[in-house]
A and B are shown apart, each in its own frame.
Chain A
Amino acid sequence: MGGLSTLSGRRARREPSKIPYYVILVILALYALGPLVVVAFNSLKSNAEIGRNPLGLPLSPVFQNFPDAWSQGNFATTLVNSTILTAGTVVGVCIIASTSAYAMARLDLPGTDAILLYLFVASAVPVQLFLVPLFFLWSNLQLTNTRFGLIVIYWAIFSPLATLLLRSYLIGLPRDFEDAARIDGANELQVLLRIVLPLSWPGLLTVALVSGLAAWNDFLFAITFIQDSNLKPVTTSFLAFQSNFSQDWGLTSAAAIYTILPIVVLFLLLQRRFISGLTAGGLKG
């Protein structure tokens, strides 16, 4: 009885002290979200209202900014470009990472340690080390100003980390089904496609989300390799749009929402997997 009462006594002492924690957490939340809320507000304001009320709630909401930004920002084209870049990157990285991870995790590839070391180094190499010759190589190969050229770069840059993540995932999977399939005469490609990949979809989904997010949000490669405004992804196209209409906050805010909405919605739907993938990626790198 005595022990119980001290326990509840301690709890009673500690409970109210959580309130300051929540106060600070809420302040931090306002700091994180406030600016994004301002964008949402401003997208619903006319220019006249922004002049009077640049940061507050829209008092007389208008929706005209959205169709205007859509046509003037060329979003019908650039959202398609970003989608192609992201989808191409995700599919390619998943293929590259799953075949190589499978070779290292299951096929007793000689020199796996050396390749792992290379992958660690490659995933940490600064862009500045290879950017300049890569650009001139790409212009000689006529891959600048092409979506494919940019996709190949994303493949190379995201696949080392993706391979490392997927390899550690594959190592944790049981081998029984694979061995059974091999005894039934399946070749390694069939084993990979029919047995291993269906089992490793959580790992693949993580890899897809991490590399998809990086491709969608990339700025440095997109600004370096694509100048043609009809091939630009939403990021660099948004930058050009914003510098043309820098005084028209309603319009640029609506454009900002087009740029971020797909990724924010996807993030909110799959946040747990996003977060685990990004932190694992961060800790591995």
Chain B
Amino acid sequence: MEQQTVKRPSEGGLRRRRLLTAWLFMVPLLAVNVLVILGPSVATIYYSFTDWSGIGPAEFVGLENYTELLADGDFWIAMWHNVIWTLLFLTVPIAMGLLGAFLLSQITRFQIFFRIVYFVPYVVASVVNAAIWQNILDPSRGIGSALASVGIPFLDGVSFFGSERLALPSVAFVNIWAWWGFIVLLFLTALQAVDHDLYEAARMDGAGRWQQFLNVTLPGIRPTFVFVVLLSIINSLLVFDYVYIITRGGPAGASEVVGTLMWKQAFERFEAGYAAAMGLGLSFVSGIIVLIFVILRRRGWEV
């Protein structure tokens, strides 16, 4: 590069043309991003201070949406459901993902087969996964009645998605089923990068399987582990698909999360200004969490 520019006579012109080309090549990316993401994101900030139905002019109301939000019982219940959802996603799929990945890393035969099988639900559309489980968990024709017919009656007639007590964990269960195979892959990729000599050394020191797992495996995959934790929290905060598809937040708000509540405020109740405040609040919380992880990473806590 340096040599070329020294040799060429019209150095400045070439460089200008190159610069122009570079920016021209960026135009499609920047144009669609400004139009779809950046512009509307900034607009969200503005509309969150307005009373706006989505149609017609927005009336500036200051912090009214936010004070309303802080006093909104439905919002806090939905937020609490997000917290429960997060706790479920930080434990069940991560434990299953670790187990699956660890076992897969110990075998060679059929490893690729199992990897593919675990991953298939992740590539299946959420609407289909939801429908599958709505059938299987159907109170009258699903697994409960099938078990009852072979003498295990305690699930018979249980309405997993229709009961206020079970709706949220049942929807989370379906989402976990679709999601954990992805975590297996992330962990497996990390496990395969752990130095095998470390296991050998641990064995020499007389460490058993469990101690090897605690002292070699977990530290070896810590960056991936931390990333999976971050991804689980963020995805749990923003969850929408499975809740909307299976229960629409019901029955009686028992499985409502902020994502579905916000969507309804904007597109069913036409309180777009209020929904903007809700979306901004949600984004703020997830932004704070990402920021904490970035700071921890900078401090070398992760690597």
Q: Interface of A with B (CB < 8 Å)?
A: 18, 21-22, 24-25, 28-29, 31-33, 35-36, 38-39, 42, 50-51, 54-55, 95-97, 99-100, 102-104, 107-110, 115, 118, 122, 124-137, 152-153, 155-157, 159-160, 163, 187-189, 192, 213, 216-217, 219-220, 223-224, 234-236, 238-239, 242, 246, 249, 252-253, 256, 259-260, 263-264, 267-268, 271, 274-275, 278-279, 282-283, 285
Contact = CB atoms under 8 A, between A and B. Distances in A.
Interface in B116-132: 116-129, 131-132
Contacts of B283: 125-126, 128-129
Interface in B197-231: 224, 227, 231
B152 interface: no
A133 B143 CA distance: 43
A217 B126 contact: yes
Contacts of B121: 32, 35-36
A246 B135 CA distance: 9
Given A108-B22, A267-B123, A238 B131 contact: yes
15 contacts: A55-B142, A96-B28, A96-B29, A108-B18, A129-B283, A130-B41, A132-B44, A133-B276, A136-B54, A188-B21, A238-B127, A260-B125, A264-B123, A271-B116, A274-B123
B266 interface: yes
B24 to A, nearest CB: 8
Main SS of chain A's interface residues? helix
Given A131-B266, A159-B33, A25 B44 contact: no
Nearest to A220: B240
Interface of B: 1, 18-19, 21-23, 25-26, 28-30, 32-33, 35-41, 43-44, 47, 54-55, 96, 99-100, 103-104, 106-107, 110, 114-129, 131-136, 138, 141-143, 145-146, 177, 181-182, 185-186, 189, 224, 227, 231, 234, 237-238, 240-241, 244-245, 258-259, 262-263, 266-267, 272, 275-276, 278-280, 282-283, 286, 290
**Could you say which of A31, A97, A133, A136 has the most chain B C-beta atoms within 10 Å of its C-beta?**
A133
Closest 4 interchain pairs by CB? A156-B36, A133-B43, A107-B22, A130-B40
A244 B143 CA distance: 23
Contact of B182 (A97, A259, A278): A278
Contacts, number: 270
A134 B36 contact: yes
Contacts of A32: 117-118, 120-121, 177, 181
B148 to A, nearest CB: 12
Nearest to A112: B22
B168 to A, nearest CB: 19
Nearest to A188: B21
Contacts of A100: 25-26, 28-30
Contact of B238 (A35, A128, A136): A128
Given A126-B282, A129-B44, A188-B21, A242 B35 contact: no
Contact of B259 (A104, A128, A130, A156): A128
Contact of B125 (A35, A102, A263): A263
A192 to B, nearest CB: 8
A187 to B, nearest CB: 8
Contacts of A31: 177
Contacts of A118: 33
